[in-house]
Amino acid sequence: MEMHEADYNIQLLRELGITVAETWEKTVLSANEHARRDATRFFVEKGLSRRFKTIAIHPGMAGSALNWPESHYITLGRRLVRRYNVLVTGGPGEGALVERVFQGIARQQNYSPDSPTFAKYVGEKGLAEMIALLDQCDGVIAPSTGPMHLAVALGKAVVTVFPPIKVQSAVRWGPYGIPIGNNLGIEPHDKASVLVPDVNCGENFRCALSACIYYPCMPRISVDDVETQVLALLEGGSLTMFKGQGFSPQDWEESYEENE
């Protein structure tokens, strides 16, 4: 897998004799006015104050790739809600997952009108509503799934987790058409970041499960790493992550303040 799925499809068009421009443009998406009004009403009803930035956590996906553990999404949500509003989102059929993550976050939170809050949303009215809600957010955390690509096209700060398996990799299915950070860090111009387990995976098509010495590998993407990447993308500045040195969100905040 040497290029993105979008580029493979563009090549296919050329093979079919369809003229395609040699240069590509970044995909840009916008919410329609009716859905935008509904999303604004949702934020007001759920108490998601504009005084705080809002992060959407979308923990679900169709199962075409390995996902981050549910417990990691919960832990991340508990941390982020200390400074940001958190909106747990899901598509049709993901209501149970959204509820578990939402309740997991809720177990350690005490509501205060002067603090960020959290809410949940399960898409039932169609794609336009999901687009409008993501458009109201400042950042999105999601695995290899459609809402991640929607968030990229909406211009949101995106942190996504991908498996090391070749056919499932971010090289083929990750954020497209924008500068992307990775496990090693983020530059000021990056719009998204892709985190992959730091393992030597030799699988091309599917996980070897217990036959692999690294199994399960997705939990190796730490909550600290994802939180740190979110902070860097939302608050600005550059970031270098040295895994062996235990770089943490607190370290990032201190280094960022020093560079101000």
Q: Is residue 204 part of a domain?
A: yes
Summarised one tens digit per residue, pLDDT across range 9-43 is 777 877 788 877 766 667 788 889 999 999 999 99
Alpha carbons 257 and 92: distance in angstroms, whole number: 42
Summarised one tens digit per residue, pLDDT across range 152-182 is 999 999 999 999 998 888 888 788 888 899 9
| Residue 244 pLDDT | 39
Summarised one tens digit per residue, pLDDT across range 203-226 is 778 888 888 888 899 999 999 999
Q: Is residue 140 part of a domain?
A: yes
Tally Cβ neighbours within 10 Å of residue 245.
8
Q: Is residue 155 part of a domain?
A: yes
Strands (E), the chain: 54-57, 85-90, 118-122, 139-142, 157-161, 180-181, 185-186, 192-195, 239-240
Bridge partners, residue 118, by sequence: 86
Q: What is the largest CA-CA distance in the chain?
A: 61
| Residue 3 pLDDT | 75
Q: Is residue 2 part of a domain?
A: no
Range of the domain at 185: 32-259
Helix then strand then coil, % of the chain, to nearest 5: 40, 15, 45
Q: Which of 177, 172, 203, 206 is nearest to 190 (CA)?
A: 177
| Residue 88 pLDDT | 98
**Residue 259 tokens, joined:** 């560079």
| Residue 256 pLDDT | 46
Q: Return the residue matching tokens 């790493």.
A: 225
Q: Is residue 67 part of a domain?
A: yes
Q: Report residue 117: phi and psi, to 5°.
A: -130, 180
Q: Is residue 99 part of a domain?
A: yes
How many structural domains compose the chain?
1
Tally Cβ neighbours within 10 Å of residue 113.
7
Q: Is residue 17 part of a domain?
A: no
Q: Is residue 7 part of a domain?
A: no
State the average pLDDT over residues 37-51.
Answer: 94
Summarised one tens digit per residue, pLDDT across range 89-136 is 999 889 999 999 999 999 866 666 678 999 999 987 789 999 999 999
What proportion of the chain, given as a percentage, has pLDDT over 70? 88
Q: What is the pTM of this model?
A: 0.86
* CATH number reported for the structural domain that contains residue 228 in this entry: 3.40.50.2000
State the average pLDDT over residues 183-196.
Answer: 92
